[in-house]
Structure 1
């Protein structure tokens, strides 16, 4: 028997993380895994990815026709990206002991089809957890958001919110050191995070919790406003940034974490800026670019090897001594308690 964590009560507001309560969002189950069939793998989960998008997947009464992935329903295992070790294999493509990336979810062990697992690329000197962050979904999101959505050109000015997060910190570094932006304005939620962002490439880093944030943002965007805004948060910060994007500029709408647990945060008073200044706003989902993942992995891996992209300090890895602690790690995302990618470690 192995443990997994499933959705118990789909939330509408902030999730109830404490297990065992009548209204707990999650619960632990023990299950017996099936015997391996042809071309299947038995995996041991090692690292679990924590992503803001997971909150949307468990929202109560969501319209599945408007979702980009099927909703997680009560009784379903919590979906999550993971790095796992192959314990047993009936596939000629995978040997026992191979480390793979998959959407294993919150499970100690699981059986997957071999076609749904991807061996980790060769990147010596870094933790395998980096394939859930800088060289995983967040890194790919940063790359395609900058290159295809923002169409960032050398010498341009870009604003990046949620800049100390998993996607944001990679976007800061790629924008400055690879795509050669003339100015990268990073927005984060503490002075400590802002200092770190300056160290990894931001020309300006602003604490949005500061009383001087709005004025500082206007000053940072001078003299000619920003060419594009990479938006990871939505809400009041999006509202503020719309007023400092130049005419015919763009917004890459990547995330809206400010409103995931409180939809009232998405009210915008600056929407007219989009009309008056002909600003293009484009939403995107990284899965749309998975057919080009090799391109992004090559650019990001090369940047790491060349010292243009630092993964040191870009991860917050939390080791769970008990399986039930997994939801408590995940909720840190929504409290701003991580720098860089938040990863849960459940095994060695």
Structure 2
């Protein structure tokens, strides 16, 4: 039997970043993330020692280390300095004092950027096999927070209905790609228009069910958007904020809705977002509706059951194409996370520790 570790490597938040985060494995005192070794506490009653297998990479994690926002205006406390960078993930229980989570159980848990973590059993959720032999990593994407975010934001917050016309930005991302499929194949929206960052990503989004997907890096993007939204649209699912949000305020119908899910275009910027079309919120009686998926967790089980049925009925396309699993040495965990802000991933970006 392998010995039980008494310490773990961890990536801590050494400094809050100004712009794009940086990392170091040495003594760079200005880096955002620093690699350290820390002792592990002994297991107490109803606790488990978990070995991290996969880490979830999410744009909103950047907000958790943003010092320019007052903590009281965030939806959860920011990561404290010298604490491990926050992240959920999948891990294997390698020691346990909890009968409900025996050794060998695969759990979804708040593992943070650590190799090993001692956690209360109550904070760990065992994960069973998914339909069609799908990888358990989809519990970090389509069957996890991004999938729930897509359904909650579109159906509950946005009140999407059959026959509506919908635009989705960040449509090739973990959440956006689920919004496209839910809108078209579960809700029954009449037209779904995606926005993504490359032609290849756009073709993939169209393969999921979007009627058309526009490359926002194209020289003709603004003209293409006006043409695609001729007659205006009912709902805009916003994952990016910034200039595209501004453009979409002028493309919504009267009483249209913009669902504010994310603003990745601004997460690493020190410049304020300027909305030149903001006055149309008034003239067109528009609604901008912010939301946090944590408010919806009580409905997670029944929503995931909807997804399972939709996969079985062919309404949701979930496969290896929906995620990008990057084999990563622990020394490179921040490097893989930073790919989120390069537009390098299609679907969910997952770190696989090797």
TM-score (norm 2): 0.95
Map Cα deviations across residues 129-158 of structure 1 (whole Å, 9 max, x no partner): 100000000000001011111111111110
* Structure 2 unmatched ranges of 5 or more: 1-6
| Helix, strand or coil at the partner of 1:44 | strand
Contact 1:62 1:71 in 2 (8 A): no
Contact 1:258 1:265 in 2 (8 A): no
Contact 2:24 2:35 in 1 (8 A): no
- The corresponding residue for 1:270 is 277
| Separation of aligned partners in 2, 1:236 and 1:265 | 11
Map Cα deviations across residues 78-107 of structure 1 (whole Å, 9 max, x no partner): 000101111111112112111110111111
| Helix, strand or coil at the partner of 2:271 | helix
In structure 2, the CA distance between the partners of 1:258 and 1:109, relative to structure 1 (3 Å rule), is same
Matches within 5 A, 1:155-170: 155-170=163-178
| Deviation, structure 1 residue 263 | 4.1
Matches within 5 A, 1:16-95: 16-20=22-26, 21-95=28-102
TM-score (norm 1): 0.97
| Separation of aligned partners in 1, 2:105 and 2:22 | 36
| Separation of aligned partners in 2, 1:128 and 1:23 | 37
2:204 to 179, 183, 196: 196
| Helix, strand or coil at the partner of 2:34 | strand
| Separation of aligned partners in 2, 1:273 and 1:19 | 49
| Deviation, structure 1 residue 219 | 1.0
* Structure 1 unmatched ranges of 5 or more: none
| Deviation, structure 1 residue 239 | 0.6
- The corresponding residue for 2:20 is 14
| Deviation, structure 1 residue 305 | 2.4
| Helix, strand or coil at the partner of 1:266 | coil
- The number of residue pairs the alignment matches comes to 345
Contact 2:234 2:256 in 1 (8 A): yes
| Deviation, structure 1 residue 265 | 5.5
| Helix, strand or coil at the partner of 2:44 | coil
Contact 2:22 2:32 in 1 (8 A): yes
- The corresponding residue for 1:256 is 263
C-alpha RMSD over aligned residues: 1.2
Moved over 4 A (4+): none
| Deviation, structure 1 residue 116 | 0.4
| Separation of aligned partners in 2, 1:72 and 1:339 | 27
| Deviation, structure 1 residue 250 | 0.3
- The corresponding residue for 1:153 is 161
In structure 2, the CA distance between the partners of 1:121 and 1:152, relative to structure 1 (3 Å rule), is farther
